[in-house]
Amino acid sequence: MTEPVLSLGGGALDQMMPMHLIVDQTGHIRHAGPTFMKLQPGRSLVGLRLLEVLELKRPRRVMSMDELAALAGGVLHFILRTEPHTRLTGILVPLSEGNGVLLNLSFGIAVIDAVRDYDLTNVDFAPTDLTVEMLYLVEAKSAAMKESRKLNARLQGAKVAAEEQAFTDTLTGLKNRRAMDHILGRMILSGTDFSLMQLDLDYFKLVNDTMGHAAGDHVLQKAAQIMVQASRVDDTVARVGGDEFVLIFQGLTKKKRLLEIARKLIAALEKPIQFNGRSCRISGSIGISISNGYDLPSAEQMMKDADLALYASKNRGRALATVYCEKLLQTPDLTAPPSSAGGPTVFF
């Protein structure tokens, strides 16, 4: 039988083995270390039977204190009977003069979960316990991971900002040509119906020439606001050149509705824009192509056709909208004056 251990005061045991239990010969707990007490908050352990608090998982079939004491010196595996059913490893030795046993416990590989579950710190372990060193390593790793996550978040934010900047026109805040190409490609690949509206500002060069580039920049910004207000959340407004814009209307393919939008856009653009006490006057000419007018739409062809329709609008007197169709190609006189009504011109 294992040689009895020396008698030690409770304070010494609490410091050296904060997870120990002293169990008398009848199997009742007479003392519990401070860390083990944290595993049973609000519960008085003294007087409870050991096997009421802990379930012995290995070896099995231990029913009495004598059977348990016979396992002195061997490794025992327990599980707490209360939530969260923490697993514990222990070793017991008999106390002198038949006063029961000393059972020293540890968390083993479950220590990280235990630290979290019971809010343990390094003071809850013996100073010589390797767990303390491991906790320092865990804390260092946790701090490093936290800083790494912060850095990754900043890098991701910087990446998003850089991508957003790469797809944004800096003067107007609209999408740029690169973004437009990306959006068109995605819509065509997904089979989404849409319409493409090319818009050029009429008389913009005159504003730049007579009032300066600051006035021109101001007009471009105001024009961009008008276009954004005329579009929906899922639509796209892009500046693709100096005074050239493209509006992409997702899911909208009705000519009548597109012409209503074009008419309102032109009317809004024709309202004088104030700059330093002076009025800047512009207008807009529009060309439209619609994806369901093609067997297999392509961004290049739709841009080319919308540009041709825009060219027709300009040569018919400006401040007009033209919807592209094949008959437009059969119209030799693209320089004919606009209709007397002055409204949108549509080719069917």
Residues 6-59 have pLDDT tens digits of 455 657 888 888 999 999 989 999 999 999 999 998 889 999 999 899 999 888
Taking 50 as the threshold, does the pLDDT of residue 264 lie above it?
A: yes
Strands, E assignment, the chain: 20-23, 29-32, 54-58, 76-80, 87-94, 101-106, 194-202, 236-239, 244-250, 273-275, 278-280, 283-290, 321-323
State the amino acid at position 111 in one-letter form. Answer: V
Q: Which residues are catalytic?
A: 243
Taking 60 as the threshold, does the pLDDT of residue 204 lie above it?
A: yes
Alpha carbon of residue 237 to chain centroid = 25
The domain locations on the chain are 10-128, 130-166, 177-330
Alpha carbon of residue 6 to chain centroid = 60
By CB atoms closer than 10 A (0-12, 13-18, 19+), residue 227 is buried
Question: Residue 345 has what pLDDT?
Answer: 36
Q: Angle, nearest 10°, between helix axes 130-166 and 111-118? A: 80
Taking 50 as the threshold, does the pLDDT of residue 283 lie above it?
A: yes
Q: Would you say 46 and 31 are in contact if contact means Cβ atoms under 8 Å apart?
A: yes
Confidence band of 216 (pLDDT split at 50, 70, 90): very high
For residue 195, the SS3 value is: strand
Question: Residue 128 has what pLDDT?
Answer: 76
The residue-averaged pLDDT of 123-147 equals 74
The residue-averaged pLDDT of 158-162 equals 69
Say which CATH topology domain 10-128 has: Beta-Lactamase (3.30.450)
Taking 80 as the threshold, does the pLDDT of residue 293 lie above it?
A: yes
Any idea which architecture 177-330 has in CATH? 2-Layer Sandwich (3.30)
Question: Residue 5 has what pLDDT?
Answer: 46
More confident residue, 2 or 105: 105
Residues making up the chain, counted from first to last: 348
Q: What percent of the chain has pLDDT over 70?
A: 88
Q: What percent of the chain has pLDDT over 90?
A: 57
Confidence band of 335 (pLDDT split at 50, 70, 90): very low
Question: Residue 164 has what pLDDT?
Answer: 66
Question: Residue 69 has what pLDDT?
Answer: 83
**HEC states along 277-292?**
CEEECCEEEEEEEEHH
Calculate the average pLDDT of the chain. 85
Confidence band of 197 (pLDDT split at 50, 70, 90): very high
Taking 70 as the threshold, does the pLDDT of residue 347 lie above it?
A: no
Closest CA to 290 of 265, 313, 257: 257
Question: Residue 11 has what pLDDT?
Answer: 79
Question: What counts of helices (H) and strands (E) characterise the chain?
Answer: 11, 13
Question: Residue 136 has what pLDDT?
Answer: 65
Residue with tokens 């320089």: 335
Q: Is the dihedral of CA 302, 305, 310, 313 positive or negative?
A: negative
Per mean pLDDT, which range of 20-29, 70-79, 248-257, 324-333 is the poorest?
324-333
Question: Residue 194 has what pLDDT?
Answer: 97
Question: Residue 344 has what pLDDT?
Answer: 39
Q: Is the dihedral of CA 168, 174, 176, 181 positive or negative?
A: positive
For 189, how many CA atoms within 13 A lie in the half-sphere containing its CB? 6
Q: Would you say 285 and 320 are in contact if contact means Cβ atoms under 8 Å apart?
A: yes
What is the distance between the terminal CA atoms of the chain, rounded to a whole angstrom? 106
Per mean pLDDT, which range of 27-36, 53-62, 167-176, 216-225 is the poorest?
53-62
Give the containing element (helix H, strand E) for 256: helix 255-269
DSSP letter string over 65-98?
HHHHHTTTTS-EEEEESSTT--EEEEEEEEPGGG
Taking 50 as the threshold, does the pLDDT of residue 123 lie above it?
A: yes
Q: Would you say 129 and 49 are in contact if contact means Cβ atoms under 8 Å apart?
A: no
Per mean pLDDT, which range of 6-10, 161-165, 218-222 is the poorest?
6-10
Alpha carbon of residue 140 to chain centroid = 26
* Spatial separation of the C-alpha atoms in residues 241 and 313, rounded to whole Å: 18
Q: Would you say 309 and 287 are in contact if contact means Cβ atoms under 8 Å apart?
A: yes
Per mean pLDDT, which range of 21-35, 85-99, 139-153 is the poorest?
139-153
